[in-house]
Structure 1
Amino acid sequence: MLSLASHVGRNISRARKLRGITQEQLGEMVGQPQSYISRIERGEKNLSLETLEKISNSLGVDPDRLLIRFQREPSKLQAEREALVDKIVASLRDRKTKELKIIANLVTDVLKAIDSKD
């Protein structure tokens, strides 16, 4: 079983890569050198809650998304699904409330259409 530090590091790495951010860029965003980010992602460095918060804010991911699934490693399908959800959430973060309401209505309509085909 992976240690918590290794698990969090893998989640950070996945989220960073999904957003097309290098370790160096993430380091600049959180005020740490690339080598520090690398050690976190390899599970070699325990990070503080403050650093976890900076990283999650920089990646546009809720901190709990970096901590989930500690008990077991997700399957490839689960990891792909989680990456897609993270990508969707990241694309919505900076939208205005009015836009989010429109998007929510569209998603609801699309899901109803999909569900009605089953």
Structure 2
Amino acid sequence: MNTTAVDIGARISRLRHAKGWTQLDLANRAGLDTSFVSRIERGERKNLKLDTLDKIVKALAVSYATLMDENADQFEGSLTVQKFIALKPEARDAISRLIELLSESKAQG
């Protein structure tokens, strides 16, 4: 799964629209600035902090799997995803950075 900032932003937008929310609604529920939410949805914000993703996931009441992969329904109950979500934010951040580095390494050859 190669998830880009544009993919995540588009998924956030779709999930928000599915709830009938405006960007202001999501921003208020997640404790974020409306312009920041707009930049995320347009894919202009790369390397989002896990704290930010936590706020968005909780506000939208979805799992990380749903946010990261459009085909997440089949993985929703995945033990691996559940273990990842249960980790401390620092550990999730470290794992996310490692995955990003591995993805970049794979893309370079």
Q: Same-fold call, TM > 0.5?
A: yes
Other structure's SS at 1:32 match: coil
Counterpart mapping for 1:78-97 below 5 A: none
Superposed displacement of residue 29, structure 1: 1.3
Counterpart mapping for 1:1-118 below 5 A: 4-46=4-46, 47-69=48-70
5+ residue gaps, structure 2: 74-109
Aligned residues: 71
Give the TM-score of the pair, scaled to structure 2. Answer: 0.58
Q: Is the 8 A contact 2:30 2:58 kept in 1?
A: no
Q: 1:54 corresponds to which letter in structure 2?
A: K
Q: Give the distance between the partners of 2:22 and 2:64, measured in 1 at CA.
A: 19
* 1:31-59 CA-partner distances (Å, limit 9, x unpaired): 11111000000000122111111101111
5+ residue gaps, structure 1: 70-77, 86-118
Greater Rg over alpha carbons, structure:
1
Q: 2:35 corresponds to which letter in structure 1?
A: S
Superposed displacement of residue 61, structure 1: 0.7
Report sequence identity in percent: 39
Give the TM-score of the pair, scaled to structure 1. Answer: 0.54
